[in-house]
Structure formats: C-alpha cells, structure tokens
C-alpha cells in the first residue's frame, strides 16, 4: 500500500515500519499516522510538507490529544 509518494511525508522510521507490516495492519497504521500528521500541521498552522527533521521539530510543538477510529476512518485532534 505505501508507495514512494506516500512515504515522502512520513519519517524514515515510520515509512520503514509501514513497509514491513502486512496489508491490514499497514492500512490501519497508515490511517492513524496520516490523520495525526494532518492534525498536527493544522495545530501548528503549517501546510502539509514533505518530511524533514525541521518539519518534525515544528510539529513536536503540538501533541496528540485524541484519536479514534470511526467507521473505516481515523479522527485525530492535536493542540
């Protein structure tokens, strides 16, 4: 499921973990990570950017407050 396009937004460690998981687990972890990434970028008033250490340092200023699976989707709230 994870292709190069998706992987450019995740840290190398997350991309590696996703690539090693079987499909059902990979899809769920991808959804959780993507939802959290979107929530953190919004909390930090940033646009979605490719992964870099600098970007992750900025995103670390926010924290995950809540994450739930609702139906087939994942909802994350960061502040």
pLDDT band at residue 72 under the 50/70/90 scheme: confident
Confidence of residue 2 (pLDDT cuts 50, 70, 90): low
Q: Are 20 and 55 in contact (CB under 8 A)?
A: no
pLDDT in tens, 27-64: 999 999 999 999 999 999 999 999 999 999 999 999 99
Q: For the chain, which residues make up each domain, given as ranges?
A: 4-78
Please give the model's pTM, rounded to 2 decimal places: 0.87
The predicted pLDDT at position 5 comes to: 59
DSSP string, the chain: ---HHHHTTS-HHHHHHHHHS-HHHHHHHHHHHHHHHHHHHHHTT-------HHHHHHHTTS-EEEEEEETTEEEEEE-
pLDDT tops 60 at residue 23: yes
């Amino acid at each position: 499921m994870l292709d190069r396009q998706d992987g450019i937004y995740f840290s190398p460690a997350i991309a590696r973990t996703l690539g090693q998981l079987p499909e059902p687990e990979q899809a769920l972890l991808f959804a959780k990570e993507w939802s959290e990434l979107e929530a953190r970028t919004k909390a930090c008033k940033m646009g979605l950017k490719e992964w870099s250490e600098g970007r992750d340092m900025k995103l670390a200023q926010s924290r995950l407050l809540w994450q739930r699976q609702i139906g087939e989707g994942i909802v994350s709230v960061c502040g």
